[in-house]
Structure 1
Amino acid sequence: MTISNGNHTKWTPILTENSMNPHVKNVQYAVRGPIVQKATNYQELIAQGKGNELPFNEVIKANIGDCQAMLQKPISFLRQVLSACMYPELIGRHPAVFPKDVEKRANEVLDGLPGRSLGSYSESTGHLYCRKIVKEFIEKRDGYPSDVNNIILSNGASEIIKLTLLTATFGEGKDTTGVMIPIPQYPLYSATISEIGAVKVDYYLDEDNKWSLSIEELEKSYKKSFETCTPRVLCVINPGNPTGQVLNRKNIDEIIEFAATHKLVLMADEVYQDNVYDPESEFCSFKKALMESEHKDSLELVSFHSMSKGFMGECGIRGGYGEFVNFDENVMTELKKLKSAQLCSASSGQVALAIVLNPPKPGEESHVLFVKERDAILGTLKSKSVKVHDLFSRMPGMKVNPIMGAMYCFPRIELPQKAVDAAKKLGVAPDAFYVEKLLDQTGICVVAGSGFGQLPGTYHFRTTILPPEDKIESMLTKFEEFHRGFLEEFK
């Protein structure tokens, strides 16, 4: 756009902060926010040899659940099959490059792809071969039928979660779709709700009861929401992010009953289903619980899984799925149309997901190594979850629930009033003030609880349990020294 002013023509951009889509400006995503950018800047200084004046010699990014960035080794079978599919010329060589069962699986995968090529497009919902593997995984896990036509593969679970929320959003004013989300929550949900113009309906998890989901709180939130919107969707994260809780079966049944009673679409984020460390807890899928309820034919449920978490930790390969249960056929058609506008998710991610959901079987050449690697990863995560919990539970001015599952700890900090006042003077949230000082003094990067939502008047932070064992000890020691010093400074 140009504006003439005498002999001068001034150019002004069409898109400005005032003219751009206002929904975009409302999006917040603390997991990769300014504190994380500051940590990245510190990392670059150290890498360039310019960090001599910093009080630390490395940055430990405990802000995001990126397993392999924290040096978790990938599963050999997955990478071998994927490599063979990427470059089929490696199959059948003498001497052999891969074990026989790897070559067999790679050929099976390639036979299921157009042109036997990982570079081919798939159907918009995903390669039929891969969707069949997902179907069989769900049936084996739950003991109930699944249908490939109700499964959509995506670039990680995030993509299909966004498409589902977009499809479920309609109405204007108080009739606009309200989406009930847990607080604390994974900020993908609040960010997406802002992006698509839906209304966020908060319900608070019960911190004093291991972050359980209270039906009384759901009812309270549901009734209050009609002041601003019409609630149509209920989101549940199990195991929890950022809270690390695992819902018991009774709680899951109560949630299903609540959703059915109030005619809500139930979205179950179950990407951490392999990560359960508490010996008294057990993962139960919402699909299984629904099939064993009186609402098995009437409640609309979509559940999500991803290969980014669990023992796989393949965040960057981007493979996930959504299974839609009891959805109207016409809605499914529109959902698939929306997905087809993106053509398809990456074939490599689809195939990788199919490989990890169908691991080597007993008697196959790769089975022993697969079990050893899987159990070692989950065992290490369990060990680190205990260490992290034990440290924070003994620190003064800190309260923490057991880490039952997922990859996170979400401690509550009793911040001194002097620290709260100092933060407000700077115009930042008190827990953001705390985590920035932690980063500046130790190089440890965590995320302020305000980025996930929290009960007003409470302060938290989220840390992962992912740093390597040889680093997590020193990280925790530094953390404790900082925390005690912080309390002393602001007492």
Structure 2
Amino acid sequence: MQFGSLCTLGHGLGPWLGHGCRSRHSSIISCMSVVRMTHRAMSSKVLNLDTLNPCIKDMEYSVRGPIVIKAVGLEKELKQGVKKPYPSVIRANIGDCHAMGQKPMTFMRQVIALCTYPPLMNDPTFPADAKAKAKRILGACGGNSIGAYSESPGIEIIRQDVAAYIAKRDGGIPANPDQIMLSTGASDGIKAILKLLKQPDGAKKTGIMIPIPQYPLYSATIVEYNMHQVGYFLDEDTNWSLDIGELKRAVDAARKVCEPRALCVINPGNPTGQVLTRENIERTIKFAKEEKLLLMSDEVYQDNIYAPDREFHSFKKVLTEMGGEYANMELASFHSTSKGYMGECGYRGGYCEFVNFDPQVVAMLQKSISAKLCPSISGQVAMDVVAAPPQPGDPSYELFMKEKTHVLDALKMKAQMTVEMLNSLPNMTCNTVQGAMYAFPQITVPEKAIKKAKSEGKAPDFMYAYELLEEKGLCIVPGSGFGQRPGTYHFRMTILPPPERLKEFLERLKVFHIGFLKRYE
């Protein structure tokens, strides 16, 4: 532990110890005493930093890292009347739609409300189709209550609705409810599949291929499970496409140190906002087949497509239509209520479809998820509304479509506005946000700034983001938290704030960025 850390600890405990660090000499003595006292106190605990699972200590999750913690502190100071050079903190660090002002879908909240408090069935203001859906779901619950446990993979009729949704999405390709598990958001399903892949610790760890840049859930979980991250770089020059040569390079290099077992793809991309073409997907499937890799397709942004020359193709649809040996490939795909047009992050609804898995492996998966009992029932209800929304002729159809269209049109407009502003700034370039909810611009950081950051032990893009927060109250995530090619610097920002709020964000960013470049010329 360094002297600075010791003094921080000593000052933090000063009020209880009855002294402060009045001189450098007394500071060291006092702080060393604190450390010895703290270490003795810790050593009496069964669980302390020495005995804690080292994988947990090594985990990082940058989306909610130190910059976000600092932003929370600044928000509290503003509420307490502390004067800042900005009126408010604007958070663009996380894809939390409703926190950014997006309104919930009326029909979804009506169904969840009816399931939560059935006496509302007598309220004439609730539409008949919402009541019918709630009654159907409650009839499948123990004691007609969403307070009861469901089957471990989720309520059967909701899994049936999800299967019908997938089949309709994929042009009639059938889906089996018994190959679907409902999950606590997509992340819980992703973790369940990764657990199946882990081999006992030995000479070589289990390797998981993930895109770089990537969503930190993957890197954090790989560390937590003591697996090996096999990063493959997306091609920024071709709007973050998936280059097969790069996949081959990554897997060949990885086999020297680990045993690659799965290929994860995020489409549409987070944090990069690209939408893969069908040709790109086909080539990726062929690569996975040749290398004997399980495909894991994160498709939570499948409703969020903005580029006119792009459309969403599910990996299941493509590999099925490729036919032959490809149609029998193992695939796990994931969806969620948290993104799309719904933005219901807090309900934690999601599903995983596992296709062409060995029946014995499916049995083991069922055993594994049974230990967690079941995902949130409210989240399952939300997932059912996504899978089986109002249809033409239903009382709620027109309002549902109006709200859905409004959200997606607004996101499309904000994606274009964000990219145009970012590309107008010197030393900054940003690819088209074809889908999802984020922009991932590249900054050409001045050499003077790079040297300063490195002298302080910081990544240059972290320093950029930290100074942006302190000077303008804008919260973003440094590109180093997602991974990036060495020598390049990026940041991720969401396009979720309401248009006027996003415009304010971009104006503040412009002023800061120009000032940053001048400061470090």
TM-score where L is the length of structure 1: 0.96
Alignment correspondent of 1:146: 175
Alignment correspondent of 1:214: 243
Matching residue's letter, 1:224: A
- 8 A contact 1:92–1:103 mirrored in 2: no
Alignment correspondent of 2:188: 159
CA deviation after TM superposition for structure 1 residue 53, in Å: 2.8
Alignment correspondent of 1:421: 451
1:482/1:9 Cα in 2 relative to 1: closer, same or farther (>3 Å)?
closer
Alignment correspondent of 2:62: 30
Range that drifts further, 347-356 or 211-220: 347-356
Alignment correspondent of 1:192: 221
Alignment correspondent of 1:5: none
Q: Does the alignment pair 1:181 with 2:210?
A: yes
CA deviation after TM superposition for structure 1 residue 18, in Å: 2.4
Q: For residues 247-262 of structure 1, what are the structure 2 equivalents within 5 Å?
A: 247-262=276-291
The one of 67, 76, 87 aligned to 2:117: 87
Partners of 1:107 and 1:320 lie apart in 2 by 21
SS of 2:325 mapped into structure 1: coil
Partners of 1:24 and 1:101 lie apart in 2 by 46
* Number of equivalenced pairs: 480
Partners of 2:42 and 2:190 lie apart in 1 by 44
The one of 354, 363, 368 aligned to 2:393: 363
Q: For residues 209-358 of structure 1, what are the structure 2 equivalents within 5 Å?
A: 209-293=238-322, 294-358=324-388
Alignment correspondent of 1:3: none
CA deviation after TM superposition for structure 1 residue 226, in Å: 1.1
Alignment correspondent of 1:466: 496
CA deviation after TM superposition for structure 1 residue 48, in Å: 2.3
Partners of 2:415 and 2:316 lie apart in 1 by 28
- 8 A contact 2:321–2:327 mirrored in 1: no
Cα deviation per residue 1:64-118 (whole Å; 9 max; x = unaligned)? Answer: 000000010000000011101111111034xx03011111221122122222111
Cα deviation per residue 1:210-266 (whole Å; 9 max; x = unaligned)? Answer: 000000000000100012101110000000000000000000000110001111000
- 8 A contact 2:95–2:496 mirrored in 1: yes
Range that drifts further, 12-21 or 76-85: 12-21
CA deviation after TM superposition for structure 1 residue 297, in Å: 4.2
Matching residue's letter, 1:20: L
Q: For residues 7-86 of structure 1, what are the structure 2 equivalents within 5 Å?
A: 12-49=44-81, 52-86=82-116
Q: Does the alignment pair 1:105 with 2:137?
A: no
TM-score where L is the length of structure 2: 0.91
Partners of 1:48 and 1:111 lie apart in 2 by 49
SS of 2:159 mapped into structure 1: helix
In structure 2, the gaps of 5 or more residues are: 1-39
The one of 135, 149, 163 aligned to 2:163: 135
- 8 A contact 1:75–1:373 mirrored in 2: yes
- 8 A contact 1:308–1:319 mirrored in 2: yes
* Greater helix content: 2
1:210/1:113 Cα in 2 relative to 1: closer, same or farther (>3 Å)?
same
- 8 A contact 1:80–1:102 mirrored in 2: yes
Q: Does the alignment pair 1:116 with 2:148?
A: no
- 8 A contact 1:90–1:97 mirrored in 2: no
Alignment correspondent of 2:435: 405
CA deviation after TM superposition for structure 1 residue 14, in Å: 2.5
Alignment correspondent of 1:394: 424
Matching residue's letter, 1:319: G
SS of 1:91 mapped into structure 2: helix
1:27/1:108 Cα in 2 relative to 1: closer, same or farther (>3 Å)?
same
- 8 A contact 1:302–1:324 mirrored in 2: yes
- 8 A contact 2:440–2:493 mirrored in 1: yes
- 8 A contact 1:173–1:228 mirrored in 2: no
CA deviation after TM superposition for structure 1 residue 359, in Å: 0.8
Partners of 1:69 and 1:380 lie apart in 2 by 16
The one of 153, 164, 174 aligned to 1:125: 153
- 8 A contact 2:285–2:326 mirrored in 1: no
1:11/1:17 Cα in 2 relative to 1: closer, same or farther (>3 Å)?
closer
- 8 A contact 2:286–2:326 mirrored in 1: no
CA deviation after TM superposition for structure 1 residue 39, in Å: 0.2
- 8 A contact 1:435–1:447 mirrored in 2: yes
CA deviation after TM superposition for structure 1 residue 10, in Å: 9.9
1:136/1:424 Cα in 2 relative to 1: closer, same or farther (>3 Å)?
same
